[in-house]
Amino acid sequence: MSESPSKKKGLGRGLSHLFGEAEAAYRPPGEPGPAAIHVPSGGALTLPVAYLRPGRFQPRRRFDDAALEELAESIRRHGLLQPILVRPIESHPDSYEIIAGERRWRAAQKASLHDVPVIVQTLSDDQSLEIALVENLQRQDLTALEEAEGYQRLIDEFKHSHAELGQLVGKSRSHVANMLRLLSLPAGVKALMQDGSLSAGHARALLTAPEPESLAKQVVERGLSVREIEKLANQAKAPAVAKPSLAPVVPTGVPTKAGRGKNADLLALERDMTERLGLRVTIEAQGSGGTFAIAYRSIDQLDLILDKLSRA
């Protein structure tokens, strides 16, 4: 099925293009201009801060008060240098939804500005979502969890691959894949990430731990480093690796299952999965269970596996 025109248009013009229009048409506060309600889409003007409303597609969960105050002080000294991107709210005259720039709008209120420069665009929900997410993801002050959730929303809403996401936000495909893996962590670990108690590096080290939530609490209480977490995680996994050695002893003279070779079904499944993934797959039966191994030679191949598994 082909994409809808609105989805294709989402970032086709780019944020820089949208803000470039504003630079050409921007009027400093106080200069005369057309009434807000009659400004054509794409035009720039100044609007009272009270006319603006927070955006529905804002990926940021919290706004740091100290950082907002710093930005407000800069606005008091130099003014608001970059316009805020908004779209009209049809059901409420003289009301505009913020698509990009909510943090600047909040800081402008702290700075006691009455009017702010804006760009008015007529945008669909799809376009608004994509622009709001990408504009925030290109900045450095989102939490790791907010960044990961932003990537996931772009995948869910626009079916972007990891490579396409990387191009959109100026990150590598491996960075996008690694951030998305954080979403598989338990809720308790995510809460510690969101309040700043746990860094992204610590969280990534917890991904392979058997009990990440318990280990996360140790990180916070004891101030463990990433290397220390990795060591503890490996120690916790060690008993599970050694478990097969506890299997019942097979009487002498009776061939083991492995010794008899793999059956045709396992061999066929190995071939099928190897063809699907493009990487060597090995399946070993051990009693009623077994192991499923995928061999890779580089980080890029590992990213490819994660990409295919997340899509599945």
Residues belonging to the active site: 102
Radius of gyration of the chain (CA): 26
The values of phi and psi at residue 138, to 5°, are -75, -10
H-run or E-run covering 115: strand 115-120
Query: First-to-last CA distance in the chain?
Result: 19
What whole-number distance in Å separates Cα of residue 100 and Cα of residue 57? 10
Cα distances (angstroms) measured from residue 165 to each of 55, 100, 106, 128, 177: 22, 18, 28, 17, 10
Instruction: Report helix, strand and coil shares of the chain as percent, to nearest 5.
Output: 55, 10, 35
Residue located via tokens 């590992």: 302
Pair 46, 118: CB distance under 8 Å? yes
Q: Give the containing element (helix H, strand E) for 254.
A: none
User: How far from chain centre, in Å, is Cα 36?
Assistant: 35
Q: Cα 127 from chain centroid?
A: 18
Task: Please list, in sequence order, all residues whose beta carbon lies within 8 angstroms of the beta carbon of residue 109, skipping any fewer than 6 positions away.
Answer: 49
- Do residues 157 and 4 make contact, with C-beta atoms less than 8 angstroms apart? no
Phi, psi torsion values for 131, nearest 5 degrees:
-65, -45
Residue type, 94: D
